[in-house]
Amino acid sequence: MINRVLIRLKIIQIVYAYYQNGSKNLDSAEKELFFSLSKAYDLYNYLLILMVALTNYAQKRIDAAKAKLAPTAEELYPNLKFVENQFISQLEVNKQLLDFSANQKRSWDNDEDFIKNLYEQIIVSDTYKEYMASSEKSYEADRELWRKLYKTLILNNTALDTLLEDQSLYWNDDKEIVDTFVMKTIKRFEEKNGANQELLPEFKDDEDREFARRLFRRTILNCDYYRHLISENTRNWDLERVAFMDVVIMQCALAEILSFPNIPISVSLNEYVEVAKIYSTVKSGSFVNGTLDGIVNQLKKEGKLTKK
């Protein structure tokens, strides 16, 4: 699940903190990096559980209505299509997700107000109304309901963002990326796989885990050389006045460009320029792009960089 976009972002965050905190303990910082990445994976599982929690809340509402002294006919014989959703039934018994809940002891039980408010948004949505009114009963339709609900009501939910930030500082910048993995997981589910449906793994393979470790260490260990290159290509600037986040971003970018021969230069440049646009100053994107481009051209002329 953890892709290289997320790995790069986490490395930039940890490298920035490494210098700001002044601890200078490389092994401890590396452990913090992998812990931070593991927390992103926790968030992925936690957001999958959210869909189950919403369905369980809907069932509680139905049960409470039936238990009234004088329930209406609609309350006695409700439309059970939402609570009997086949995709959610499969997700609820997923072995990997159950293991996560047991090991991490995470649930949405203490956030019933949020669950209530989100459920009420769901039941007034056109997606929900159309689904409940439809005569179609299929696994595919049930899965599609949740793909649409997630995309429209969970993907960009400020109340959820705030709640998650309160629960973990590691989740501040993770949700946007993790949401894409949840959406991908919903689409990957197949009825035939039952409780054994595979969720996305924490790392795609050992190569990505090694990419994270190697990129982080090269960024720190070759700091002086990378900053020398940055300084040479920002001669009209006092390096002390350049946004420190920009320096960290370029330091990470140079570590990747010079340490991973199989990653095209253009891929690395595009990734780090995008990070600069989002996480640094207004002008950082163009500044980082121009500076890195100058360094790459310099290294090519000196024969120190031969890849494209």
Supply the pLDDT for residue 237: 66
Burial of residue 162 (CB within 10 Å: 0-12, 13-18, 19+) is exposed
Instruction: Please name which of 45, 181, 168, 56 lies closest in space to residue 109, comparing C-alpha atoms.
Output: 56
Supply the pLDDT for residue 221: 97
- pLDDT one-digit tens code per residue, 3-12: 999 999 999 9
Mean pLDDT across the stretch 95-120? 95
Q: Is the whole-model pTM more than 0.85?
A: yes
Residue 1 in this model has a pLDDT that exceeds 90: no
Supply the pLDDT for residue 255: 98
DSSP assignment string, 177-236: HHHHHHHHHHHH--GGGGGGPPPPPSBSSHHHHHHHHHHHHHHHHTHHHHHHHHHHTTTT
- CA 147 to mean position of chain CA atoms: 17
Percent above pLDDT 70 for the chain: 98
Name 203's bridge partners. Answer: 2
Mean pLDDT across the stretch 38-44? 96
CA distance 15 to 40: 17
- pLDDT one-digit tens code per residue, 242-257: 889 999 999 999 999 9
Q: Torsion angle, CA of 238/239/244/247, rounded to 10 degrees?
A: 140
CA distance 83 to 80: 5
Supply the pLDDT for residue 42: 96
CA distance 95 to 64: 30
Residue type, 210: E
Mean pLDDT across the stretch 146-161? 97
Supply the pLDDT for residue 240: 64
- pLDDT one-digit tens code per residue, 80-96: 999 999 999 999 999 99
pLDDT classification of 304: cutoffs 50, 70, 90? very high
Q: Which residues contact 105 (CB under 8 A, 6 or more apart)?
A: none
Asked if residue 159 lies in contact with residue 117, where contact means CB atoms within 8 angstroms, the answer is yes
Average per-residue pLDDT for the chain? 94
Residue 236 in this model has a pLDDT that exceeds 90: no
Token digits of residue 134: 């439809």
Supply the pLDDT for residue 22: 80
Residue 47 in this model has a pLDDT that exceeds 80: yes
Cα distances (angstroms) measured from residue 308 to each of 237, 255, 300: 28, 16, 10
Supply the pLDDT for residue 241: 67
Residue 141 in this model has a pLDDT that exceeds 70: yes
Asked if residue 87 lies in contact with residue 189, where contact means CB atoms within 8 angstroms, the answer is yes
CA distance 247 to 240: 10
Instruction: Please name which of 1, 4, 117 lies closest in space to residue 48, comparing C-alpha atoms.
Output: 1
Mean pLDDT across the stretch 64-86? 95
3-class state of residue 2 by DSSP: strand
- The angle subtended at Cα 36 by Cα 35 and Cα 42, nearest 5°, is 90
Residue 31 in this model has a pLDDT that exceeds 80: yes
- pLDDT one-digit tens code per residue, 212-235: 999 999 999 999 999 999 999 987
